[in-house]
Amino acid sequence: MNKPVEISVEDLIEPLTYSVEAFTSRDYAAAEADLLWAKVWQHAGRVEEVPKVGDFITYDIGDDAILVVRTAPDSLKAYHNVCPHRGRRLIDTPCDANRTCGNRKRFVCGFHGWTFDLQGKNTYILDESDWKGELTSERTSLAEVRVDTWGGWIFINMDPECVPLRDYLEPAAGILDPFAFEKMRYKWRQWVIYDSNWKTALEAFMEPYHVQGTHPQLLEYGEYYAYSAAHELHGVSGFDQRNPDLKMDQSSTITRAGKGPDARISTYELQNEIYNTVNNASTTETLVNAAKRLVDELPEGTPAQEVIAHWLASAKADDAARGVDWPEITSQQMSKAGLAWSIFPNMAILQGITFALCYRARPYGDDPSKCIFESYAIERFPDGQAPKTEWVYAEPTAEKWGSVLAQDFSNMASVQRGMKSRGFRGTLPNPHQERKVTNFHRNLARYMGRGWPRLLKRT
Ligand code: FES
Ligand SMILES: [Fe+2]
């Protein structure tokens, strides 16, 4: 029947399928550790989590553990979080936490007390003379991991031969640079150990094709037909107005006109619905309030394009008055950036002018049916007024995550279980609206290599 073939970006417009092995097989999950996670840049946290020299965070991925530390006001370093003596984890990450953080002048191993400075250099070995001068500083130092930042995110890569972060992120980074995510700060951050493969979880957020089936209440407020495009390793989706007369700047983005005859009213209703059901994310209080005033500030019959321009200008002025600057970003740049990005392999960014809603999923232990799922909102705040946040464990309920994410959660574990059915004949992703998903599998298959057949093939 179907024969494995190499899939190119051009092929993504064709109907494709991929095997469920990637989601259900323990062997596949084990191979991912070596072939994927050990090779890719992955975001380990935000720069704001380590503001002072000595601040550190841990990041665990499978059996690997990384320690990121600020070594100077303008410098970060990352190490494998393991003591070179007999292999004790240097900093423990409790099983019920998604990471550890703190501030240290030095790192002291809990087993025999070997000590390391912030540069990873060993500064103390108990009874060092027992080794009769055989220990080298290289052998007793912490093993370094590549680290770099973009957009306020800290990225690590365990592969010493990896390409520079910027090259890895292009062209996504260039298209998203105007948002200046580094000026945003956490608004909230939550995580959960969830009953699905990490890819099942991420793919629940890769396309708006599911809005009709999963979030039917949103159809009252907007059109959700979407495009989905591959950008090398990464992918983007955006709203795709099928009626060319209604296409306008911003219409592919989250800050767009709502559905209905009066854009003054529908724009407010859409923003208000998003704010209330997406856990106070994917828009801001400023944008909601400015949208609420549209009906008082503009005459009936104002064309949608003018309504949007007025709305954004007044929200920008409101933000300026409270000390929040908007980035220099044109509506063309906004439109080009679309609605939501997938940064390979496991990061999702749904961006707006002054905010973003982000997701990350990664394996939990060696079980392909479990993952650590995290979501957080970032936003621009007046200087010094960002809220104090930490990672909060939150059961996947509407009460904790908002009703829209709860609807998404309701699919994820069910997809994971459904894919194990012997009656499931493989996926049939939408060649137009779910191209991000097939592009993800195209790239995953390239990392995993030929030892893993049937990862992506023609139907
Ligand atoms: S394992 Fe760390 S000092 Fe012995
Ligand atoms: Fe959704």
pLDDT of residue 244: 72
**CA 204 – ligand 2 centroid, Å:** 6
| Fold assignment, 1-41+177-255+320-459 | Naphthalene 1,2-dioxygenase Alpha Subunit; Chain A, domain 1 (3.90.380)
Ligand lying closest to the C-alpha of residue 142: 1
Quick: pLDDT tens for 18-58: 889 999 999 999 999 999 999 999 999 999 999 999 999 99
Q: Which residues pair with 71 in a beta bridge?
A: none
Q: Which strands make up the sheet holding 185-194, listed edge to edge?
A: 226-231, 234-239, 340-343, 347-351, 355-364, 367-379, 185-194, 392-393
Interval between CA 408 and ligand 2 midpoint (Å): 5
Regarding the beta carbon of 112 and ligand 1, being less than 6 Å apart is answered yes
Task: Note the pLDDT of residue 331.
Answer: 87
What is the rounded distance in angstroms from the CA atom of residue 154 to the CA atom of residue 47?
6
Q: Ligand 1, closest atom to CA 109? A: 2
Establish whether residue 85 lines the binding site of ligand 1, counting it when its CB lies within 6 angstroms of any ligand atom.
yes
Residue bearing the CA closest to ligand 1, atom 4: 112
Q: How far is the CA of 410 from the centre of ligand 2 (A)?
A: 10
Q: Where are the beta strands (DSSP E) in 164-262?
A: 185-194, 226-231, 234-239
Do 189 and 175 form a contact (C-beta atoms < 8 A)?
Answer: no
pLDDT value for 2: 47
Maximum Cα–Cα distance for the chain, whole Å?
87
pLDDT(157) > 50: yes
Mutate to test the pocket of ligand 1, among 85, 123, 127 (most ligand atoms within 8 A of CB): 85
For ligand 1, the distance from its centroid to the CA atom of residue 346, given in whole angstroms, is: 33
- Cα of 416 from ligand 2 centre, angstroms: 16
Residue that wins the pLDDT comparison between 259 and 143: 143
Q: Which ligand is nearest to the CA of 203?
A: 2
Please name the residue that has the structure tokens 């590549």. 146
CA 411 to chain CA centroid, nearest Å: 19
Q: Which residues pair with 64 in a beta bridge?
A: 61
Contacts of 341 (CB under 8 A, 6+ apart): 172, 176, 234, 235, 236, 348, 349, 350, 351
What per-residue confidence (pLDDT) applies to 180? 98
Answer yes or no: is the C-beta of 359 below 6 A from any ligand 1 atom: no
**Ligand that lies nearest to the alpha carbon of residue 209, given by its number in the listed order:** 2
pLDDT in tens, 90-107: 999 876 678 999 999 999
Query: Which listed CATH number (1.10.287.90, 3.30.470.10, 3.10.450.200, 2.102.10.10) goes with 42-161?
Result: 2.102.10.10
**pLDDT at residue 453 in the model:** 54
3-class DSSP state for residue 215?
coil
126 lines ligand 1 (CB under 6 A): no
449 Rama class: left (phi>0) / alpha (psi -120 to 50) / beta: left
Residue nearest to atom 1 of ligand 1 (CA): 86
What is the best residue among 67, 79, 86 to mutate for testing ligand 1's pocket, by most ligand atoms within 8 Å of CB? Answer: 86
Ligand 1 pocket, residue 109 CB under 6 Å = yes
pLDDT digits (tens, 9 = 90+) for 55-90: 999 999 999 999 999 999 999 999 999 999 999 999
* Residue-wise pLDDT tens digits, 313-354: 999 999 999 999 999 999 899 999 999 999 999 999 999 999
Q: Residue ranges of the domains in the chain?
A: 1-41+177-255+320-459, 42-161
Ligand showing the shortest atom-to-Cα distance for residue 213? 2
Ligand 1 atom nearest to CA at 86: 1
**How do residues 199-216 score in pLDDT, each as one tens digit?**
999 999 999 999 999 999
- Omega before 94 within 30 of 0, i.e. cis: no
Beta bridge partners of 366: none
Average pLDDT over residues 252-273: 93
For ligand 1, whether the C-beta of 125 sits within 6 Å is no
Distance 82 CA to ligand 1 centre (A): 9
Q: Is the CB of 107 under 6 A from ligand 1?
A: no
What is the number of the ligand 1 atom nearest to the C-alpha of 112? Answer: 3
What is the pLDDT at residue 81? 98
Element (H, E) at 369: strand 367-379
Question: Using 50, 70 and 90 to split pLDDT, how confident is the model at 1?
Answer: very low
User: Is the Cβ atom of 111 under 6 angstroms away from ligand 1?
Assistant: yes
Section 412-432 average pLDDT: 94
Starting from the CA of residue 216, give the closest ligand.
2
Selected residue with higher pLDDT from 248 and 384: 384
> Is residue 412 lining ligand 1, measured as CB closer than 6 Å?
no
- Pick from 153, 89, 148, 78: nearest CA to 118: 78
Arithmetic mean of pLDDT over the chain: 94
Distance CA 299, CA 451 (A): 64
pLDDT band at 194 (very low <50, low <70, confident <90, very high): very high
pLDDT above 90 coverage of the chain, percent: 86
Mutate to test the pocket of ligand 1, among 81, 107, 111 (most ligand atoms within 8 A of CB): 111
- Expressed in angstroms and rounded, the spacing between residue 407 Cα and the centre of ligand 2 is 7
**Does 108 contact ligand 1 (Cβ within 6 A)?**
no
